Amino acid sequence: MEAILLIDFGSTNTKVSAVDPVGKTLLGTAAAYTTVETDIGEGLAEALLLLQQDTGPLRFTKRFACSSAAGGLRMIASGLVPALTAEAARLAALGAGAKIVGLYAYELTEEDILEIARIKPDIFLLTGGVDGGNKACILHNANMLASLGAPGPFPVLIAGNRSASAACAEALAGWNSIRCPNVLPKLGTLNIEPVQTEIRRLFLERIIHARGLSRERELISGILMPTPAAVKRGLELLSAGAGGETGLGELAAVDLGGATTDVYSVATGMPRGEVILKGIPEPFSKRTVEGDIGMRYSAAGILEAVGVDKLAALSGLAPATIPAMVTQLTAHPEALPVTAEDRSLDFALAAAAVETAVERHAGTIEEVYTPMGPALVQTGKDLTCVERLILTGGAVIHNREAKKIARYALFTQRKAASLKPSEKAAIFIDKSYILAAMGLLAETWPDVALSIMKEEIENHGTGE
């Protein structure tokens, strides 16, 4: 049978999905350990073997892939003001599927340059100043980066004040520097799509080779992107619809992984009523990544974020036992819950990770006092009108309490300042772990991807 193969080279597992584009059906999925330390093709071959044990022999006419193997796409960004151009740079990088490993505002110092050299990012995003505004900061930062010497240890995307763009490129002569339109051309206006296009191109040219995926290029038909970008594309399609078929409308999603927790919102999120917006309007389609909280590699980050008493209350375990259990999980990220105590801790970690990550992603509202009297001020996106929540990630889809975990992503009067999705939201579970695969498929067959997502992503009722 002819089929399309969709591959996700993950940090832990390589996941494969087979799709029949004519019948608009998912034929099967499988996963195997990502053998990035040796030959990444070994894990892919094992996953394909497992897949075809279920589906029978398949002839793949197209093969598309995404990757977050070996830590994914690591980026550093710099801007002028933390709440403006630096924030715009952060949103651009995260929306393209990158993981921010450094974010700087104002002028880079010699200590900053030493730290950047030590981190060795895959890409550096250099921003600063609205068009026609401050030129000194971005030019200073370009010269500081240039002090690392040509040809430069990483490519640089220049996406700040257009009046300084050419001078920055000149300062970085001999480097792989790419000039892009300003991510914040004027106050209140984001322009992040051109930068995201360049990030994807650099991912194809540089990151795939660096991660060992170049050995598999002859097997892949041409679409390669960071896994979070594929997930985001799938969610955008599910929200908007395609080919005359309606989507779900505005939605939010949580991807709970072993190392990070990613949160997505495809929603306007603008203030309602007389609420005042503080800072820049955020993109309709937004992603954030919490690199300090995850179910295994970053389990200690969850403990640090919420405290042992919170995990004890969620799990019913004795507080004194939790730190040692978390340490054990971090040391053995491949461990699956076996005992009742294991399952209780897994539930607590998942609930705490989801709650913390969504609170960080969603906007906040506060009352301030002005000369005209009290006023409500919103920072970030208001998601309280979002009535569809999607959960994905192995730690959720294989958990018996998935719906209960999902409720921790929803709005509660107990924390009314956090503008999380509606407490009445419908909860959907990506039971086949296909969001990234459908994001890949959406590039060529959006109608097929939409039809499969509607069939495979289960509605578990509302959060009430």
Summarize pLDDT for 190-209 with one digit per residue, the tens. Answer: 899 999 889 888 877 765 56
Residues 446 and 404 in one domain: yes
SS3 state of residue 60? strand
Distance CA 216, CA 52 (A): 19
Q: Report pLDDT for 35.
A: 65
Q: Residue type at 28?
A: G
Quickly list DSSP for 133-201. Answer: S--HHHHHHHHHHHTT-TT-SS-EEE-S-HHHHHHHHHHTTTS-EEE---SSSBTTB---HHHHHHHHH
- Asked if 263 and 386 sit in the same domain, the reply is yes
Region of 380 on the Ramachandran plot (φ > 0 left; ψ -120 to 50 alpha; else beta): left
CATH code, 28? 3.30.420.40
Asked if 66 and 439 count as a contact pair (C-beta separation under 8 A), the reply is yes
Task: Determine the pLDDT at residue 370.
Answer: 81
Collapse the DSSP code of 9 into the 3-class scheme (helix H, G, I; strand E, B; otherwise coil) and give the result.
strand
Cα–chain-centroid distance for residue 208?
Answer: 18
Same domain? For 27 and 129 the reply is no
Enter the pTM of the model: 0.86
pLDDT digits (tens, 9 = 90+) for 237-257: 999 999 889 999 999 999 998
- Helix count (H) and strand count (E) of the chain? 16, 21
Per-residue pLDDT of the chain (464 residues; tens, 9 = 90+): 789 999 988 777 889 999 999 999 999 999 888 765 666 778 888 999 999 999 999 999 999 988 876 566 789 999 998 878 888 888 888 888 788 889 999 999 999 999 999 999 989 999 999 999 999 999 999 999 999 999 999 999 999 999 999 999 999 999 999 999 999 999 888 899 999 889 888 877 765 565 555 555 555 666 678 888 899 999 999 999 998 899 999 999 999 988 889 999 999 999 998 899 988 888 999 999 888 899 988 899 999 999 999 999 999 999 999 999 999 999 888 788 999 999 999 999 999 999 999 999 999 999 998 888 899 999 999 999 999 999 998 888 888 899 999 999 999 999 999 999 999 999 999 999 999 999 999 989 999 999 999 999 999 888 66
- CA pair distance 453, 122, nearest whole angstrom: 32
Kindly state whether residues 264 and 407 are assigned to the same domain: yes
Domain containing residue 162: CATH number: 3.40.50.2300
At 257 the pLDDT is 87
The verdict on 121 and 82 lying in the same domain is yes
Q: Are 182 and 38 in a shared domain? A: no
275 domain residue, yes or no? yes
- Are 191 and 148 contained in the same domain? yes
Assigned domain for 300 exists? no
Could you give the CA distance from residue 377 to residue 391 in angstroms, rounded to a whole number? Answer: 30
Q: Does residue 334 belong to any structural domain of this protein? A: no
Does residue 318 belong to any structural domain of this protein? no
Overall number of domains in the chain: 3
Tell me if 462 sits within 8 A of 423, measured CB to CB: no
Question: Is residue 94 included in any domain, yes or no?
Answer: yes
Q: For residue 303, is it within any domain?
A: no
Residues 262 and 364 in one domain: yes
| Cβ proximity of 203 and 178 under 8 Å | no
Residue 5 has a pLDDT of 95
Domain annotation covers residue 341: no
State which residues form the domain around 119.
Answer: 73-205
Q: What 3 state SS string does 342-397 have?
A: HHHHHHHHHHHHHHHHHHHHCCEEEEEEECCEEEEEEECCCCCCCCEEEEECHHHH
Q: Is residue 326 part of a domain?
A: no
- Asked if 402 contacts 389 with a C-beta cutoff of 8 angstroms, the reply is no
| Token pair recorded at residue 333 | 């990220």
Residue 5 corresponds to which amino acid? L
Same domain, yes or no: 78 and 174: yes
| C-beta of residue 162 within 8 angstroms of C-beta of residue 85 | no
* Complete DSSP assignment for 408-446: GGS--GGGTTB-PSPTTPEEEEETT--HHHHHHHHTT-H
Whether residues 8 and 63 share a domain: the answer is yes
Judgement on whether residues 159 and 179 belong to the same structural domain of the protein: yes
Distances (CA, A) of 313 to 14, 142, 397: 35, 50, 23
Q: What is the pLDDT of residue 358?
A: 97
**166 and 125 within one domain:** yes
